[in-house]
Amino acid sequence: MTKLKFIIPQETIDAQTKAANPYDSVWVSANAGSGKTHVLTERVIRLLLEGTDPSKILCLTYTKAAAAVMQNRVFQRLSEWAVLDDEGLSKKLESLEKREPDAIRLEIARRLFARALETPGGLKIQTIHAFCESILHQFPLEANIAGHFEMLDDMMQTALVGEARRQLLEVASTSAHAGLAEAFATVLETAGEMGLENLLDEAVSKRHALHGFIRQTGVAETRQDVFYRHFGFDPDDTEADILSDIWPVAEFSEDVLDAVMNLRKPAARAQDVVLQLRMIKSQTTPAQMQDILCKAFLKSTGEPKNGSWVATAAVKAELPDFEDDFNRVAANIHEGLDRLKLLKLIRLNLAAFTLIDDLLSRYEKMKRNRGLLDFDDLINRTVSLLSRNGAGMWVQYKLDRGIDHILVDEAQDTSPEQWQVINMLSAEFFSGSGQRDVRRTLFAVGDEKQSIYSFQGARPEDFAATGKAVSRMAARAELSFEKVSLNFSFRSTPDVLSAVDTVFSREEAFRGLGIERQPTVHAAIRSNDAGEVEVWDILTPEKVEEVEDWRTPIDQLPAPAVKLAEQIATTIRHWLDTGEPIHGKGRRMEPRDIMVLVRKRDLFMPALSRALKNRGVPVAGADRLRLTSHIGIKDLMAVGRFVLQPG
């Protein structure tokens, strides 16, 4: 085993020990690389040492990979203990529990591996979606779903959504459903084909939130009334009605307009306004009138024009009230046209909801008929199950007898619905003494700064807010609760971490990182290791003349991605040519020492690879391999298909 080249601070040891205490509910705020998985592993092991049945521990991780890593760590530690001699095992336990174990403790520790393996169902270290799926399989009747339900994979979901969209468009493009056809025409006219496609895509991705809203507002007719009443409209209001309230006005009667045009001295601005207003005729459409009033009374930004800018000295001499009248009318028209826009927006939204309601209804019906659930259904169906009167109490009672400790990993990426599941499962933990004399705990570890799944509904601020709520519940139940911070990083170096803290030292930078609104604090355990941070100027697109020669490579154009690839490749080539030293290793830099991290696998990667190869820098390539395209995997798949042949 490689020996550590650094000393772990006592502060970190104490914090990790406190976080792993199996008798306390704990909320851990942990920086990147500060040992979150290590703390989770130690807490699970200490729970097992205290005699907790492995089946009564629920550890929720964010990904299957994280669940596998943690399970491997736990079983690796327990299997090691099973074969250690007394002296070696005593040292391990003393390091973990900060006390010298007796012979009974050693015997318990040796048996943990076998006990964990032999427990029916084993340790429950899984994703929250997998846990919710198991609950729904256990209580399908109470959840009002098919007992034999299957999960939709991505391809099946895409096919079902595509079929639902096809049916929607087929019906909407005919007169078979007048309301749907009208809504389809409204959205298509306003947003175009791409806008319609984006609307339906987003509706599917946010279908559960939309389902709730649609249920609250009712059918199309009820929804229309709710929208109109909420914004102060009558269902019979029209664009012409709103325009008639703001024009014509007495301040700009024909006499006033004639007076402006017959001024003895020229007044170009005021007369331009009059010429525009005289374009309003009896046959002028609402859209044309709106355009005329905008040009006459509003700036290009949409704000009302100032009467002092329109009314020159010649105008004021003949019409002293013109400036005040203009300002008053311009303000009224600005407000009226805004109200007109609001009416159009309401109608557009109502049309969009009509399409969305039809699409989601078709999609849900297809799933129901086939006995299918999608990924998001797992959480939402479980929330509905646990919160349902009667059935929910029965389910929670059954689950309550099976879970004594809940551990949540990467809690900053937990969505509000997932927190609902966790809170409902752990509510009985803090209700006081029960029939079983068991000290039950809730543990969560996360870091708001590392939240990257807001697009999936995660709200990082909920991590701290839920921690405060749990702290209050624990205090009322006279149970212990600890808030722990892990600031020391095992992964990075002081130079890198201090650069991060410097960037986020200003309030405008750190105020969006969490509910506490405090500057970041990072400390490096590898205090003697060197590091370096270089900040480059941001690259922006440049305007260039379009190359007429079709043979000219597109990547020769000064696009930011290509320019950045060239800059990185030039820098690496310079390091290799000048013999850039690697601090702490006593040698010069080699290509194998360099790794380029990218945010996503887009066209920047081949551009960088090409730029490096053009400069003679060997490149290992991208770290992605499509297994099914590898010749060895293809051979194995062919063998598998062969042996499955009935003949």
- More confident of the two residues 307 and 360: 360
Q: How far is CA 207 from CA 199, 318, 459, 587, in A?
A: 12, 63, 18, 57
Q: What is the pLDDT of residues 518-533, one digit of tens each?
A: 788 888 888 888 888 8
Asked whether residue 17 is domain-assigned, the answer is no
Which amino acid appears at position 234 of this protein? D
Neighbours of 458 (CB within 10 A): 21
User: Three-state SS for 445?
Assistant: strand
Range of 272's domain?
152-370
- Report the C-alpha gap between 122 and 48 in whole angstroms: 12
Q: How far from chain centre, in Å, is Cα 420?
A: 17
Instruction: Give the residue carrying structure tokens 């919160």.
Output: 387
Phi, psi at residue 304, to the nearest 5°?
-65, 145
- Report the C-alpha gap between 27 and 522 in whole angstroms: 18
Answer yes or no: do 191 and 316 share one domain: yes
pLDDT for residue 407: 94
Range from 144-158, 454-468, 474-488, 506-520 carrying the lowest mean pLDDT = 506-520
Q: How far is CA 320 from CA 111, 263, 311, 312, 324, in A?
A: 99, 13, 9, 11, 9
Q: In a 10 Å sphere around its CB, with 0-12 CB exposed, 13-18 middle and 19+ buried, how is residue 638 labelled? A: exposed
Select from 421, 455, 486 the last residue of a domain.
Answer: 486
**Residue ranges with strand state E in 230-376:** 372-373
Give yes or no for residue 444 having a pLDDT over 90: yes
Select from 486, 518, 553 the last residue of a domain.
Answer: 486
572 falls in which pLDDT band (50, 70, 90)? Answer: very high
Give yes or no for residue 44 having a pLDDT over 90: yes
Asked whether residue 518 is domain-assigned, the answer is no
Domain count, the chain: 3
pLDDT for residue 472: 93
Say which CATH number the domain at 127 has: 3.40.50.300
Separate counts of helices (H) and strands (E) for the chain: 27, 12
- Locate 405 and state its tokens: 């400790």
Answer yes or no: do 35 and 100 share one domain: yes
With a CB cutoff of 8 Å and minimum separation 6, the contacts of 56 are 402, 403, 404, 405
The overall average pLDDT reported for the chain is: 84
Instruction: Give the residue carrying structure tokens 């959504």.
Output: 161
Q: How far from chain centre, in Å, is Cα 187?
A: 27
Going by DSSP bridges, is the β-strand pair 124-127/57-61 parallel, antiparallel, or unpaired? parallel
Nearest-Å Rg of the Cα atoms of the chain is 34
Among candidate residues 422, 521, 440, the one with its CA nearest the CA of residue 127: 422
pLDDT for residue 623: 58
Asked whether residue 454 is domain-assigned, the answer is yes
- Report the C-alpha gap between 253 and 176 in whole angstroms: 49
Q: What is the pLDDT of residues 146-183, one digit of tens each?
A: 888 899 888 888 899 999 999 888 888 776 677 888 88
Give yes or no for residue 2 having a pLDDT over 50: no
Answer yes or no: do 74 and 182 share one domain: no
Give kind and range of the element (H or E) at residue 25.
Answer: strand 25-30
- Locate 40 and state its tokens: 């989770």
Decide: 620 and 608 in contact? Cβ < 8 Å: no
Phi, psi at residue 582, to the nearest 5°?
-100, 110
Answer yes or no: do 399 and 455 share one domain: yes
Answer yes or no: do 219 and 363 share one domain: yes
What is residue 355's DSSP assignment?
H
Among candidate residues 74, 68, 87, the one with its CA nearest the CA of residue 46: 74
pLDDT for residue 574: 93
Q: What is the largest CA-CA distance in the chain?
A: 113
Asked whether residue 407 is domain-assigned, the answer is yes
Decide: 123 and 44 in contact? Cβ < 8 Å: yes
- What percent of the chain is helix, strand and coil (3-state, nearest 5)? 60, 5, 35
- Report the C-alpha gap between 83 and 106 in whole angstroms: 11
- Report the C-alpha gap between 201 and 192 in whole angstroms: 14
Asked whether residue 265 is domain-assigned, the answer is yes
1 falls in which pLDDT band (50, 70, 90)? Answer: very low
Q: What is the pLDDT of residues 402-436, one digit of tens each?
A: 788 999 998 888 888 899 999 988 888 887 665 55
Side-chain half-sphere exposure of 405, counting CA atoms within 13 A? 30
Decide: 143 and 136 in contact? Cβ < 8 Å: yes
Which amino acid appears at position 249 of this protein? V
What distance, in Å, lies between the first and last C-alpha atoms of the chain? 52
Which amino acid appears at position 155 of this protein? M
Instruction: Give the residue carrying structure tokens 């790794």.
Output: 595
Answer yes or no: do 365 and 381 share one domain: no
Asked whether residue 322 is domain-assigned, the answer is yes
Decide: 280 and 292 in contact? Cβ < 8 Å: yes
Answer yes or no: do 250 and 345 share one domain: yes
Select from 370, 388, 409 the last residue of a domain.
Answer: 370
Phi, psi at residue 194, to the nearest 5°?
-65, -40
- Report the C-alpha gap between 275 and 466 in whole angstroms: 63
Going by DSSP bridges, is the β-strand pair 405-408/441-446 parallel, antiparallel, or unpaired? parallel
Answer yes or no: do 385 and 365 share one domain: no
pLDDT for residue 471: 93
Asked whether residue 635 is domain-assigned, the answer is yes
Answer yes or no: do 364 and 411 share one domain: no
Answer yes or no: do 233 and 127 share one domain: no
Range from 163-172, 373-382, 425-434, 600-609 carrying the lowest mean pLDDT = 425-434
Answer yes or no: do 71 and 180 share one domain: no
What is residue 590's DSSP assignment?
-
Which amino acid appears at position 515 of this protein? I
- For 106-156, the DSSP string reads HHHHHHHHHHHHHSTT--EEEEHHHHHHHHHHH-HHHHTS-TT-EE--HHH
- Report the C-alpha gap between 197 and 633 in whole angstroms: 38
Q: What is the pLDDT of residues 67-79, one digit of tens each?
A: 888 888 999 999 9
Asked whether residue 109 is domain-assigned, the answer is yes
- The DSSP bridge partners found for residue 405 are 57, 441
Answer yes or no: do 131 and 222 share one domain: no
